Structure 1
Amino acid sequence: MFVDDEGGPWERRLHIVTGKGGTGKTTVAGALAVALATGGRRVLLTEVEGRQQIAQLFDTPPLPYKERKVASAPGGGEVFALAIDADEALLEYLEMFYNLRSAGRVLGRLGAVDFATTVAPGVRDVLLTGKVKEAVNRPDGTRAGGLAYDAVVLDAPPTGRIARFLGVTAEVAGLAKVGPIRAQADSVMAVLRPDRAAVHLVTLLEEMPVQETVDGVTELTAAGLPIGGIIINMARSPLLKARESRQARRGELDREEIVAAVKEAGLEPTRELVESLVWETTQHADRVALEAAQRAEILALGRPVYEMPLEADGVDLGTVYRFAELLRAQQMVG
């Protein structure tokens, strides 16, 4: 359960997480999967870039082309993971529509699969999104909802190419008027409807990631793709009061106050120490002002915004669970 712009609930089964490299999108995707699984649900977390970042995040061996449980969620939930491989997805496609899996393996040994997806890179993206679609729609009569997974989370390509990655299916549908390829493209496009899917964008409060997020929202909107929330990652808490921050940025810090504070801490207030503290305070104030300006740009996009704090000690499995709790606390997940 997610919350829309008007505060109401909306159900979506496919959650696509994108972001500029270095923004922590895989960590956020993992946290979102755990948050969705909380309360006894089963969620599939997928990746498509062949980097095995999910395995690293959950501290497990590299993922095969097979769904594997990687985490438990509070309340009896389960998170499974899958690293989607385009070649294996093609073999599944050939078997599903043409009963040619064995022939496909021969083509793979000959390099024909790599050749085909290199000459027509859009084919690779269709195969990847097609596998995600299959997981979203896969039936399971043994489960209450009749589906294998309650939700699917995709750790997607970066923001700079997410619209192209998701939109290539429509191009393929336009080229193939009939047949299995057209049917595959149409079924993927059906999953990407606003009532069934959402693209969430992860950013930092820095100029380049924010600009890429703004551009990404524009491109996704133009392509008619559904946009969910924006997650600000590595957000810092201000350490100064507003007045102190203004003084620091104007170079008006009271050095006598700093000397007194250093003495109170039991340290020797040398000139070098005091000037170093002044410099660090000014840098912090400048950073807070920059982040405030960048946050205003994000808020101006008119999308739901959620914030994850900067983890000073780095990211580990505990971070994933803490972020999952924060997503639920901020009501991104109900």
Structure 2
Amino acid sequence: MSSEPLPVRCHVVTGKGGTGKTTVAAALALALAADGRTVLLVETEGRQGIAQLFDTPPLPYEERRVAVARGGGEVKALAIDTEEALMEYLDLFYNLRRAGRALRKMGAIDFATAIAPGLRDVLITGKVKEAVTRRHDGKRVYDAVVVDAPPTGRITRFLNVTGEMGQLARSGPIKTQSDGVMAVLKSPQTAVHLVTLLEDMPVQETADAIKELTAVGLPVGHVVVNMATEPLLPEASLSRAAEGRLTGAELAPALESVHLPGALGDPLAVEAVEHAQRWAAQDALRGDVAALGRPTIELPLLPGPMDLGALFDLAGRLEAHVRPEAAA
């Protein structure tokens, strides 16, 4: 049986390429599904990244369970297929599923999405809205929906294109669909979470995306600092090394005490200085992240491959941040 209703039910996860947004989205879905909840994890880019993370066959255009969360909850996953989504749309609003099949055979669907790229985003966000609001026997089918969304460079366009298209139609199914989608995406039940690394470009892209999302009224959630590393040196040594004041001569006695050549001190000192300087630069970027004014979650760089065990580890770290009762 599920716990109390979640305050945010549509979690959109974005980030610069290489920041691990798909991994964070999968871990977030596991965290939200804990204690008996049911969560849908949606893939929007056709890369089958979710299937790889959960070690399952490629996902078809149907909702399939990919994991059981702590406390008996479950995560289902869906890889959105643009053609199938368009056929659903034609059937739902125009009762034209048969015509949609004919269009697919003619190649018209590929042609339409090629000349109007925004159509693909409209169909995807429409499917997300449908999953968020879907009910069965008067109850919501999903406690939450997590979207592995496009990168930060196009996240605002992706989420807002339905509203832009709706402005072109004053009435009819397109207007109704657009208004319904934007009512969900711009409401308090949605949050756009941004994944970053403590590196200059990802942090800057995160800052730019927050400004763009805020400007069009889309709700920004957490900033997730992913793959954060810990310093390998004590604080005092770290400061000296970052300033370039650590020498091989200082390391030689310690090396010789464990029967290693003191000559190793020089190359070790070089590595220690480089590590300390990287750490100092990374730590300075924490201030830039804090200046964004959003709640921040920091996830560690985990050793080894990103398997299901690692996902559960990250999910446990996310629970207290995205589920208020878990922090109580």
Normalising TM by the smaller chain, what interval?
A: over 0.9
Q: Tell me whether 1:195 sits opposite 2:188 in the alignment.
A: yes
Q: Return the letter of the residue paired with 1:285.
A: A
Aligned mate of 1:176, from 169, 180, 184: 169
1:86 Cα offset (Å): 1.1
User: What is the percent sequence identity of the aligned residues?
Assistant: 58
Count of residue pairs the alignment pairs up = 320
Q: Tell me whether 1:149 sits opposite 2:139 in the alignment.
A: no
* Cα contact 2:54–2:67 (8 A) shared by 1: yes
Separation in 2, partners of 1:121, 1:265:
64
Misfit runs of 4+, over 6 Å: none
Q: Tell me whether 1:20 sits opposite 2:16 in the alignment.
A: yes
RMSD: 1.4
Separation in 2, partners of 1:156, 1:229:
15
1:299 is aligned to 290
2:52 is aligned to 56
Q: Return the letter of the residue paired with 1:14.
A: C
Q: Return the letter of the residue paired with 1:293.
A: A
Separation in 2, partners of 1:300, 1:62:
40
2:253 is aligned to 260
Structure 1 residue runs of 5 or longer lacking an equivalent are 1-8
1:84 is aligned to 80
Q: Tell me whether 1:40 sits opposite 2:31 in the alignment.
A: no
1:34 Cα offset (Å): 0.2
Q: Which secondary structure state, in structure 1, belongs to the residue aligned with residue 231 of structure 2?
A: coil
1:318 is aligned to 309
Q: Cα deviations across residues 253-309 of structure 1 (Å, max 9, x unaligned)?
A: 15344112212333222x2x2122111111111111111121111100110000111
1:3 is aligned to none
Separation in 1, partners of 2:119, 2:243:
56
Separation in 1, partners of 2:147, 2:9:
11
Separation in 2, partners of 1:226, 1:163:
11
Q: Cα deviations across residues 103-144 of structure 1 (Å, max 9, x unaligned)?
A: 1011011111111111111111010000011000110227xx
Q: Which secondary structure state, in structure 2, belongs to the residue aligned with residue 26 of structure 1?
A: helix
* Cα contact 1:306–1:332 (8 A) shared by 2: no
Q: Which secondary structure state, in structure 2, belongs to the residue aligned with residue 114 of structure 1?
A: helix
Aligned mate of 1:66, from 58, 62, 65: 62
Structure 2 residue runs of 5 or longer lacking an equivalent are none
Aligned mate of 2:122, from 120, 126, 135: 126
1:6 is aligned to none
Q: Which secondary structure state, in structure 1, belongs to the residue aligned with residue 298 of structure 2?
A: strand
Q: Return the letter of the residue paired with 1:29.
A: A
Separation in 2, partners of 1:239, 1:302:
29
TM-score (norm 1): 0.93
Q: Which secondary structure state, in structure 2, belongs to the residue aligned with residue 240 of structure 1?
A: coil
1:10 Cα offset (Å): 7.1
